[in-house]
Chains A and B, each alone.
Chain A
């Protein structure tokens, strides 16, 4: 996706599909994903009610059709607008359970829905600008960066969900340390192969932060910051290991003096066993 077509030119990728056909097919898949997920995970017992609960994503198909019949003259605007539409639809789905107006008083759901509708409207407008005016091509890594990083975040969801089971895989090891180790290893194990398709920066900045997040509670500040500092060194191409290790140690020492003692924050420095 990173090599987007130029202004108004239908570029062909390796599969032989013109570029905007590929964009369109992504929108169709996303549009159908809502109802499918609704049927699988939805709460209502009836099939059609579950199908309808996921129908919020269907309007994305309109963007797909637009991308199919019209060339993307300004892909930056089109895709940027599309994301706004997508997030607006997501918000509408997320607040679908909230009550709206009660008489002339606003309900909890009124304002969010108002903002979401306005954002969808503007997203459509920005996308339309992308279809009818010429603009610069997509920048490199505009998709692979956030997608790669997003995948790393997403992989933590099942780990958190099944943390009870993961914690008891090996007996004798404290469960929260086990979960932290599994989380850190999975994130790292995913980040390295993703390096081939996604830029290092977003990937390893995300990975370093996630590793900090999963390890800081069970393993303490010193360990968590040192490991995440070392991981963050992969975010650039110029890695100098000796320098990295020394610098990581210096920063770790500085942070473990500044935060718990200098600023009196209740942070745990060492692992709890």
Chain B
């Protein structure tokens, strides 16, 4: 079995020991570096998930510079840990104090907090953790199984197909995002435009750099992400006055009862499958998966009136779904090289900085990285279950840290981190500028996530577009006449038309403010 062999390789990478030199003692000791990084990532992720007002996007952007010194496998393992760790942490605060630390656990709060109020916080936390773990196991296997076939498919693609695939991915991201479609497309274009700043790929001519040396290399990916997510988030959070009244319900009796299990098990199964599918789709991800799973579970239930009053399915389904989606969204990234959502766009940035071009060749050329990352997800999920449940009390106590102490820490981390990449003070100035731009966008109901996708895919899209046009000797119909490319573009157009239909019919643009379903 190839799959088992590959997974064995992956686990080998995860449990690898490296010699850690301790400088002042002059000795070196064997140290399980990757396990340690996986642990650090999962813990930091949980911490971030617990604290409201700082999401996984901002955290990964903030910690990117720190991972530059690590080997690529370790860096990616840690960053992935932050992402799925955040899905866990968010559920804890949702259930205990009705404050979703993450947008993906907003729905968990509905029933989870009701359970806590009824004195069943323990079972709610346990079922969230168990559901997440089962979903994590399933999606790890799914990533491993789908990796090889999708990769071989991707190898058939030429530049025209790649370009069309990216168009389809971006269209998916637009259609599945909340808010106005026009605005989302506009944000993608803004990202694409930003990505063209700097030297031209083919001629090396400086574009829109105004002879500023720091711009000659293009705008840094970390700069944009930190500014638009980290800084803009702080600026907005500071406007809201804090109201964190911590009514801590005592957590007693962690284990769910047998009837709980019987109700929750099918919900976990459905949530896992739904989450896995939505995670693979571009534009999907943990948030939409959680919402969809909750709605689906409510529709399936024979007693929908129990939802919102402490139904255990209402915790099990979205929690499994968001964790499954968090992991399966690695599939398009690792096989096709196309990030399906903004967090994966950050992963692309991390990979590029380590000199890895995301895409089908990762699996063949760097199997240790590919399978190591997959195996680490399973290990990380196990760690989260084992470590998190006993630590619930500690996480809740962390919530007492006031925001006025939190934001300076985030700020200085971002500032030093971005400065340390190139030792360029101009980078820190640009982060602040992008923070202001992001603040403007949020104030005008523009989602910044599509912009980051556009920014990451920009250079790739331009390169493939130019190459395809050159191969077709300047004939733009090549994108439609090549069967695979044409099919992908047709699908993209169809999706857009379907999504825009209600706009034609209704006179209000508020139709798109869905997602709360």
Contact = CB atoms under 8 A, between A and B. Distances in A.
Interface of A: 74, 76-77, 79-81, 83-84, 87-88, 91, 94-95, 98-99, 103-109, 111-112, 115-116, 118-119, 122-123, 125-126, 129, 133-135, 138-142, 145-146, 149-150, 153, 156, 199-202, 205-206, 208-210, 212-214, 216-217, 221, 225, 228-229, 232-233, 235-236, 238, 240, 243, 247-248, 251-252, 255, 259, 263-267
B494 interface: no
Given A91-B208, A106-B470, A251-B408, 8 more contacts: A104-B474, A119-B186, A145-B436, A150-B436, A153-B429, A255-B416, A259-B420, A267-B416
A145 B507 CA distance: 32
9 contacts: A76-B444, A106-B465, A115-B193, A205-B435, A208-B408, A208-B415, A209-B411, A213-B428, A221-B416
Contacts of B416: 212, 221, 225, 255, 259, 267
B47 to A, nearest CB: 15
B209 to A, nearest CB: 9
Contacts of A255: 412-413, 416
B444 A142 contact: yes
B231 interface: yes
B466 A233 contact: no
Nearest to B423: A266
Contact of A133 (B234, B236, B470, B507): B507
Contact of B435 (A80, A95, A206, A247): A206
B407 interface: yes
Nearest to A104: B474
B128 interface: no
Contacts of A141: 239, 443
Given A213-B426, A214-B425, A232-B411, A108 B193 contact: no
A75 to B, nearest CB: 9
A228 B410 CA distance: 12
Contacts of B414: 209
Contact of A108 (B180, B207, B419): B207
Nearest to B419: A216
B193 A91 contact: yes
Contacts of A134: 508
Contacts of A259: 416, 420
Interface-centre pick from A122, A208, A213, A233 (highest chain B CB count, 10 A) = A213
Which 7 A-B residue pairings sit nearest by Cβ, starting from the closest? A104-B474, A80-B444, A201-B238, A108-B200, A142-B443, A213-B428, A213-B425
B182 interface: yes
A76 B445 CA distance: 7
Given A145-B436, A213-B425, A213-B428, A111 B189 contact: no
B186 A122 contact: yes
A146 B439 CA distance: 7
Interface in B175-196: 180, 182-183, 185-186, 189-190, 192-193, 196
How big is the B interface, by class? 35 or more
Nearest to B404: A236
B316 to A, nearest CB: 36
A205 B207 contact: no
Contact of A80 (B189, B231, B446, B462): B446
Contacts, number: 223
B508 A119 contact: no
A209 B444 CA distance: 24
B456 to A, nearest CB: 15
A257 B118 CA distance: 46
A185 to B, nearest CB: 17
Interface string B323-361: 000000000000000000000000000000000000000
Contact of A209 (B192, B200, B429, B474): B429
A105 B201 CA distance: 13
Interface in B214-241: 231, 234-239
A98 B205 contact: yes
Interface-centre pick from B185, B445, B473 (highest chain A CB count, 10 A) = B445
Interface-centre pick from B210, B237, B411, B414 (highest chain A CB count, 10 A) = B411
Nearest to B506: A133
A209 B428 contact: yes
Contacts of B405: 243, 247
B466 A263 contact: no
B466 A111 contact: yes
A122 B431 contact: no
Contact of B432 (A206, A216, A240): A206
Nearest to A149: B436
B217 to A, nearest CB: 15
A232 B85 CA distance: 29
B363 to A, nearest CB: 30
Nearest to B429: A213
A229 B406 CA distance: 11
A228 B415 CA distance: 10
B444 to A, nearest CB: 3
B265 interface: no
A191 to B, nearest CB: 12
Interface-centre pick from A87, A108, A240, A247 (highest chain B CB count, 10 A) = A108
Contacts of A140: 239
Contacts of B469: 104-106
Contacts of A123: 186
Contacts of A87: 190, 193
